[in-house]
Amino acid sequence: MMKTIFYTLSFLLAFNAFAQNEEAAKKYIPEAVIDDKYGIVMYKNLNMMLGSDTVRNVSGYAANGFVKDFYVTGQMLHRGFYVEGQLKVYRNFYPDGTVERNFRMMDTKKSKMDIYYKDGTPKSKITYINNEAQSWEDFYPNGTLEFIEVYDKNIQHYVEKANYFEDGTPENTLVLDNKKKLTYIQTYYYENGKVKKVGQMKYLKTEFDYQNIGTWVEYDENGKAIKEIKYASGAIISEKEL
């Protein structure tokens, strides 16, 4: 009896592995799987760390172990490690072999995703806690930082948030000023690098929102202060030309 069970299990495992290899032999046309803006996103719904419950089935069985997909040219498109049909680690590739994205689990809660332009230049760097982005960086095609967003470890409020012009100079920045009071310094800039407007903001836990508070100052493109604006509870209470 035990021998019969053993041979049955061995057959099922062998059949499952064969089915996965058979599935991996499928080939794709680049135009069908590469989005001009977002890249190769066809595997996103199989990523268990992003909160997805979609399962990749291979000939009736949930995929387990490494599975590969290819382009019609024979170049590898995807190599991922599956557990019960869902991805834990994977890489996607452009038709020339350049890595398009690299996803890996760091532990049971934390994971990282790196996404690249077709020439290999970094496009995005993301760190997830469970299925939420704890930090996110986007880059211009020339490699300079375009955007950064960093939350606290509980993903409740910003620690840092900023946008940058293509030459690398800041467009606007939000920096945590007081951790206990959850107040921030918000600064806007002209393209010449001069400060355009600066003031303080406060995060309201009960409303999950940020409000302007205190005195804000606006400047012209030469750096001269031109206006003073005072806020209370997010509303303007006075304005004064300088």
Strand partners, 103: 90, 113
Here the CATH number for the domain that contains residue 156 is: 3.90.930.1
The tokens for 200 are 């303080």
Long-range residue pairs from 149-158, CB within 8 A, at least 24 positions apart, any chain: 153/129, 155/129, 156/205, 157/182, 157/203, 157/205, 158/184, 158/203, 158/210
pLDDT band at 94 (very low <50, low <70, confident <90, very high): very high
Q: What are phi and psi of 228, to 5 degrees?
A: -120, 125
Q: Please list the alpha-helical segments (H only) found in 81-157.
A: none
Residue position matching structure tokens 């211009």 = 140
Is the separation of the CB atoms in 23 and 77 below 8 Å? no
In this predicted structure, the answer to whether residue 81 has a pLDDT above a threshold of 80 is yes
Nearest to 78 by CA among 16, 112, 28, 17: 28
Which residue segment(s) compose the domain that 38 sits in? Answer: 2-241
**pLDDT, averaged across the chain:** 89
In this predicted structure, the answer to whether residue 27 has a pLDDT above a threshold of 80 is yes
Residue 51 confidence (pLDDT): 81
Pairwise CA distance, residues 162 & 173, whole Å: 4
Q: What are phi and psi of 13, to 5 degrees?
A: -65, -45
Mind giving me the DSSP string for 22-73?
HHHT-EE-HHHH-BTTTB--TTGGGBGGGT-----EETTEE--EEEEEEETT
Q: Please list the alpha-helical segments (H only) found in the chain.
A: 2-24, 30-33
Residue 3 confidence (pLDDT): 39
Report how many domains make up the chain: 1
Taking only the tens place, the pLDDT of each residue in 112-166 is 999 999 999 999 999 999 889 999 999 999 999 999 999 999 999 999 999 999 9
Pairwise CA distance, residues 179 & 98, whole Å: 42
In this predicted structure, the answer to whether residue 21 has a pLDDT above a threshold of 70 is no
